[in-house]
Chain A
Amino acid sequence: MVENFEPNIVVFACNWCSYAGIDLAGTSRVQYPHNLKVIRVMCSGRINPVYILEALANGADGVLVTGCHPGDCHYISGNYKTRKRMLLLDKLLEQFGIEKGRVRLEWISAPEGERFANIAKEFVEQIKKLGPNRIAEKLKEEVEVV
């Protein structure tokens, strides 16, 4: 494990369930690591896998995608589309040489503030074990070779 490694993690959260759940962690003052930074979208179905690739290519050490639990989507079925896309993305990441476990999908509902905090802690630990994301450096090297 790299000493003093503080991973940078981008979180995508849907407005209705997950963002509200993450807000609740705050309102309840449940402490979790500062490494996660949230980008709000209206629905997890808005998350184009390109955003996740862009985050990783720019040096994010992990990406956490959150949405409403199956059946609870504010837009009926957006989260099902997210799940399908994430399954496909998983395969793609492997081919790019990005370790399994850097990208994660979690369903967070509005009352699950504490659960989000626990997932946040666990995810940060997991990324710390994986170490810094080297793909950004590799990409830079490749560009220089070209």
Chain B
Amino acid sequence: MSEPHLQFVAHDRRAAPSASTTTGVPAAASTRTLVPLRQSTRIAARSLGTTRAGDLTSGPGLRARATVTGTAAIEQVSSARAEARDAVPTNDLSNWKNAQQDPLWVRLTLIGLAVGSLLLLVIIPVANVFYQALSAGLHAYWDNLFNDPDTRHSIWLTLIVAPTAVGANLVFGVAAAWAIARFRFPGRSALTTLIDLPFAISPVVAGLQLVLLFGLRGYFGPWLREHDIHVIFALPGLILATMFVTLPFIARELIPVLEAIGPDEELAAVSLGARGWQVLWKITLPNIKWGLLYGILLCNARAMGEFGAVYVVSGHIPGQTQTMPLRVDRLFQGYNTPGSFALASLLMLLALVTLVLKTVLERRTQRELAEAAKLHTVEIES
């Protein structure tokens, strides 16, 4: 029902804060709703202000006079109304519970339990890592970290293994997400399950698989030995093991993001003549950048911290195949507790930084998703 031709005067009284207290003759204020209509014509005639520019009452003089008397009247009326309202005593709401609120003792108990368990499970362990790492002093801490050549090498090795694995899974993640989110084909859900599989496989079994394939007595073992290629107990094994356990992270993060964004913009780009790679670089990747970073972050945290799978394929050669987590283990087994905690504190720092970045990225990813979902119109047909 639009009535564009009607002569309506805007009556938004909310725009006039004082108006809410100006209606009402003091005597009638509390009774007005109960007075029968016909008797109340006079009261009812107190109506909204409807004068407007260009109206038919002429003469600025009149307006001016009205303003003078009006201001006095406002004060009178509004204070009278406030008085009438204030005459009604305030209710004591201290015992009032709304339907969604729990009693104070319940709230305090539950908050106490929650904070207590987080303290015991998370905060104390975090503090303990730094405490033990630094207990022998900063100097010893520095020594433990950087003057032990094997520890130094483990840091170096992790900085090679993790980014390589993340890079490989990044390429895979983008390709898999593109195929799964943008096309419908037979076996699509089976493919999704296959991507999830590494989550379900124990890392130790993941390592074992590689040993079975590339170990000395593995299926490819003799051939590899012939060509003098070392996979197990060497860098390639470490990278392969890490790649396997972190394989799903980026793909899993990207598929829902791509699905939420929808193909609208990409279809538009194609219709404007963009080639495949141009669509990827200029449209898709900029749209999913926060989700992508989020996936990389999680993938990297897992890659740097992976233990079980690399444990099996590493062979534990100090200075050659020990990544940081393996080095932590070896130092601990060798009763070098300060050394092991020093290295652990570095991994803990990494985790804390990851956590901070994650919190930031999560918010951005969600915004990216929300904005995309709003604009998304085209669905991929099956």
Q: Indicate whether A and B interact.
A: no
